[in-house]
Amino acid sequence: MAVKNPMTSCRIGLGYDIHRTKLPANGGAASVVLGGIEITAPFSLDGHSDADVLLHAITDAILGALADHDIGHYFPPGDEKNRNRKSADFLVFALGRMRSAGYEIANLDCNLICEQPKIAPVRHQLRGAVADLLGVSIDRVSIKGRTNEKLDAAGRGEAIICQAIVLLNEIR
Ligand SMILES: [Zn+2]
């Protein structure tokens, strides 16, 4: 009788995204969307969809783990269907691809790199929102905020950068 491999097969994926900041045209209040949550900020983020840099990086990490193209392949920025679209749609799509391939999320770790908005006060809320979207418990989701020491685009407030790494376990 064949001995079943006791090790679950797993796959790792890396996601990266950057969005430019833009000042509100009327000089009024502005906000960014992170993890599907609107957060007050001195600027908003430029992008064809809702510019959710966090969900885009996570989506790309999942697709990357599956070696399944990338977010731009499935949702081209020039496609009118994607204008102002909620980025949760992109993530739900990637999760569907993941489940059909027979995998589930083991854990996720993200870096949000920006001077503003401050991530620490909303960190728990962001983790909860992402865990809900992924359908996993919050202890599987890490989101860390850090500045770029005022260096480069993220440090000058010209962009927000997100890195995400995800581990998928084969569903047994
Ligand atoms: Zn993006």
Q: Are strands 44-45 and 10-22 parallel, antiparallel or unpaired?
A: antiparallel
Does 3 score more than 70 pLDDT?
Answer: no
Q: What is the mean pLDDT of residues 15-29?
A: 89
Tokens of 83: 């204008």
Count the helices and strands in the chain (H runs, E runs).
Answer: 5, 7
Task: Identify whether 2 is part of a domain.
Answer: no
Ligand 1 centroid – CA 45 distance (Å): 10
Q: Are strands 103-113 and 141-146 parallel, antiparallel or unpaired?
A: parallel
Q: Residue 34's domain is classified under what CATH number?
A: 3.30.1330.50
Query: What distance in Å separates the CA atoms of residue 90 and residue 55, rounded to the nearest whole number?
Result: 8
Ligand 1 centroid – CA 29 distance (Å): 22
Q: What is the mean pLDDT of residues 1-11?
A: 72
Task: Identify whether 4 is part of a domain.
Answer: no
**Edge-to-edge strand list for the sheet holding 10-22:** 44-45, 10-22, 159-170, 103-113, 141-146
* Higher per-residue confidence, 23 vs 78: 23
Q: How confident is residue 77, by pLDDT bands cut at 50, 70 and 90?
A: confident
> Which range, of 1-5, 86-90, 128-132, averages the lowest pLDDT?
1-5
Ligand 1 centroid – CA 73 distance (Å): 13
Task: Identify whether 1 is part of a domain.
Answer: no
For the entire predicted model, the pTM comes to 0.94
Does 8 score more than 80 pLDDT?
Answer: no
What residues have CB less than 8 Å from 18, skipping those under 6 apart? 53, 153, 154, 159, 160, 161, 162
- Domain boundaries, position 165: 10-170
Ligand 1 centroid – CA 137 distance (Å): 25
Ligand 1 centroid – CA 46 distance (Å): 9
Task: Identify whether 5 is part of a domain.
Answer: no
Which residue type does 147 have?
A: T
Ligand 1 centroid – CA 9 distance (Å): 29
Ligand 1 centroid – CA 133 distance (Å): 17
Query: What distance in Å separates the CA atoms of residue 111 and residue 144, rounded to the nearest whole number?
Result: 5
Report the number of distinct structural domains present in the chain.
1
Among 122, 78, 90, 85, residue whose Cα is nearest residue 15 = 90
Does 7 score more than 80 pLDDT?
Answer: no
Q: How confident is residue 2, by pLDDT bands cut at 50, 70 and 90?
A: low
Sign of the CA dihedral running 137, 99, 112, 53: negative
Ligand 1 centroid – CA 47 distance (Å): 7
- Taking only the tens place, the pLDDT of each residue in 92-126 is 999 999 999 999 999 999 999 999 999 999 999 99
Ligand 1 centroid – CA 19 distance (Å): 6
What percentage of the chain exceeds 90 in pLDDT? Answer: 84
- Taking only the tens place, the pLDDT of each residue in 146-158 is 999 999 999 999 9
Does 24 score more than 90 pLDDT?
Answer: no
Q: What is the mean pLDDT of the chain?
A: 94
